[in-house]
A and B are shown apart, each in its own frame.
Chain A
């Protein structure tokens, strides 16, 4: 049953994307590690880390697409799940520093020594174990999404209202993580990592593995999301998006359907955050900023929501554009981003992938219609001949 569930996911486009991602996961680290720096095909480490960052963003956009594109929940707080996953990873990395910190305290991270704390807060325990940290990467965002969604979907908070309270959620989290008393490094966040599972986070090899992992995790989540949306459950999901009341009257528990999707999506966002942190080398409360979450929405919208592939393309394109613009014309980036927001909503409501799909579909329809016309003409011809007789 599981195999059929997975197999159904493997539709043409998805297989193609997974293949591309797998190729990228192999080729770029290989070119970074094996080719000499002088080679034209060599990918420098910083570029690989940058692309790894894009892949994490793509995973975040994919997660948002699952709830927004298929379930109609526009979450303006997905950055919060991303950041929570990132903090869980950051806490593991902080514990790995051990006594190599500036203050050399074997147990406490530097910022706690600086704040004159005597012992590790309870929620920092266990993060020295990799498996526990990785569990928390999915559990913490999932739990928050579960609690939040449990209340919100039960009381039928919908549409705009839901968007606004998700925004309030990430804003409240941002304010709390800015406080030093929270025990997450306050303003500065968590940084200055040394090693992950015993490998130095600065080393090319570690970076290459992290990059490959990001690409593979993205492929895995893509298959999972595709499996969900192409199952029977996925059909109901789209029903919830398009006509929630009707689905409810048909006897489905709409709140449970939404809750499941929301939690899965939050967990994906958490994984994206966890892969993001070691490649970027820092996590701070700025990741919770409501503006970040809104930016994720625009990646998804640009690529095309409800297409799964679109958000990946959108995230890579927009972030690539951002890197280019902020380097070449820093003044113009916000104009470009703003224009992108306006342009996409006005002229490309289905996004790039959605528009391409409908253009292709229209062309197929025209061709089919032309073929049908032709065959009808052929059919008619003899009768006309008969009539003439």
Chain B
């Protein structure tokens, strides 16, 4: 019995002895070959504590499962597959030391706990790297997996660090490590503050993990910090929702703004409006195809080229529709509805015959793809550009209506057709060009919408009801109403969505609009005066 006990003790000592006796990295790494998970954890800590940057490849290899121990002498090597054999690489020098068959080697086992420890350890080791990016990512690694072992190393690195950004990141990493160490309460309090300043969901989880093992006296501080971060997060969430809402609103604005002219200003219930948007999107497709085949280097400019093309195409179609059909129907609004619906069917089928019923691929230019981070918010470039684009169309249109001779004539004809005619304005042409303008703007909208929606013959159908809702909600005959209507419907929709889901949110918005129309039959910004009864 005693012998057994002694021999076990001896064995244990033999195992632990090297780690106690020496801090030679080579010996420590070799010891890994015989260690179980728990011991390996300690060993990794000691290897990291050596502060020798040469051990990093070995630790990385351990994490990747490429570290093997030779059965004959227990020496540990980094390996690479070389045919049936494994190429052996010295863990410290990185020199090749021959090959060995797989049977002669034992793979060092690894689990997730060890991987985490390894990440922290390598993070700590590269903290001193001369490469700035390496130091930054090392600090990040420590921040993600803080451990008390790294603390000393981190503080040495901090003292030497000159770069401001890296230093700030290291401070944060240090704070995270302090939280899980056995430092004093004051130091931990300061660390909690530092982490609370980082903010974000990661910081919350850092604090909560650390607080599990922490002195209960620190609990209030942690809770306060978490609450503070959550308030900020809620604020950013709100910001993100508003942004999504504005983005949806700007899409609605784009779709509706042409209708605000044809329906809002001229009083034509233009059911073919959605098809103008669709034609604009298909113009973009045709322009992009032409560029792809003949001048691929211009691809980033494709949208800029498509804009005037789409405007001209749809304005021309609009002109033909007005001269061919609508001018015979002035004063019979409900019948224009039927005729334009017929036109929309014909246009849809025409596009289907030419381009086929399936979706067409319209590419994003490089400056419209990707996203950037704003605080805790994700902002995609194409959404940002669409917001900018729709607002600039709106402003351009407003200037045209208020500042140009054409705009003046347009408003004159809308307000009092006979008087305008007596003053020498050629009202039929003003009608025709106003309709063409509205259609052209719908076409431009189609260029933008081709970037975020499927380009198919049914594209227009999906926007037509929304567009009418926006114009009616905002108030007919008022561009500002359309702007406010579109943006508020967009934001309302996005704020309802988290509670109700997308479809129900949309239904609720429709019901709200129906109810709103009962209250204010002429929309948000109603025209006053005699025009109302017309």
Contacts and interface: CB of A to CB of B under 8 A. Distances in A.
Interface of A: 74, 148, 151-152, 154-161, 163-165, 167-169, 171-172, 175-176, 178-179, 290-291, 294, 297-298, 301, 331, 334-335, 337-342, 344-346, 349
Nearest to B325: A342
B521 A161 contact: yes
A298 B335 CA distance: 10
B346 A335 contact: yes
B26 to A, nearest CB: 62
A179 B504 contact: yes
A155 B523 CA distance: 13
B345 A152 contact: no
A345 B507 contact: no
B110 to A, nearest CB: 42
Contacts of B348: 334
B346 A155 contact: no
Contacts of B504: 176, 179
Given A175-B506, A338-B346, A338-B349, A301 B521 contact: no
Nearest to A178: B503
A157 B342 contact: no
B367 interface: no
B338 A156 contact: no
Interface in B305-362: 325, 328-329, 332-339, 341-346, 348-350, 352-353
Given A160-B333, A179-B503, A342-B343, A168 B338 contact: no
Interface stretch (B98-106, B172-180, B203-211, B511-519): B511-519
Contacts of A167: 465, 468
B128 interface: no
Interface in B498-534: 503-504, 506-507, 510-511, 513-515, 517-519, 521
Contact of A301 (B328, B338, B345, B346): B338
Given A155-B519, A175-B510, A341-B342, 6 more contacts: A148-B514, A151-B518, A164-B472, A331-B349, A346-B325, A349-B332
Nearest to A337: B345
Contact of B338 (A151, A158, A171, A344): A344
Chain B interface residue count: which class?
A: 35 or more
14 contacts: A148-B514, A152-B518, A160-B333, A161-B472, A167-B465, A172-B510, A175-B506, A175-B507, A294-B341, A301-B338, A335-B346, A337-B342, A344-B338, A345-B342
A152 B343 CA distance: 29
A290 B465 CA distance: 9
Residue of B341, B465, B468 contacting most chain A CB atoms (<10 Å): B341
B517 A165 contact: yes
Contacts of A148: 514
A148 B510 CA distance: 13
Contact of A159 (B334, B343, B503): B334
A155 B518 CA distance: 5
Contact of B342 (A154, A160, A178, A338): A338
Interface in B147-200: none
A165 B521 CA distance: 11
Given A341-B341, A346-B325, A168 B514 contact: yes
Interface in B14-61: none
A339 B345 CA distance: 9
A371 to B, nearest CB: 36
A161 B504 CA distance: 23
Contact of A298 (B336, B338, B344, B472): B338
A290 to B, nearest CB: 6
Contacts of A335: 345-346, 349-350
A311 B519 CA distance: 34
B515 to A, nearest CB: 7
A341 B345 contact: yes
Contacts of A346: 325, 328-329, 339
B269 interface: yes
Nearest to A171: B465
A172 B511 contact: yes
Q: What 3 A-B pairs are tightest by C-beta distance, nearest first? A: A341-B342, A338-B346, A338-B345
Given A165-B514, A172-B510, A331-B353, A156 B521 contact: yes
Contacts of B254: none
A74 to B, nearest CB: 5
Contacts of B339: 341-342, 345-346
B516 to A, nearest CB: 10
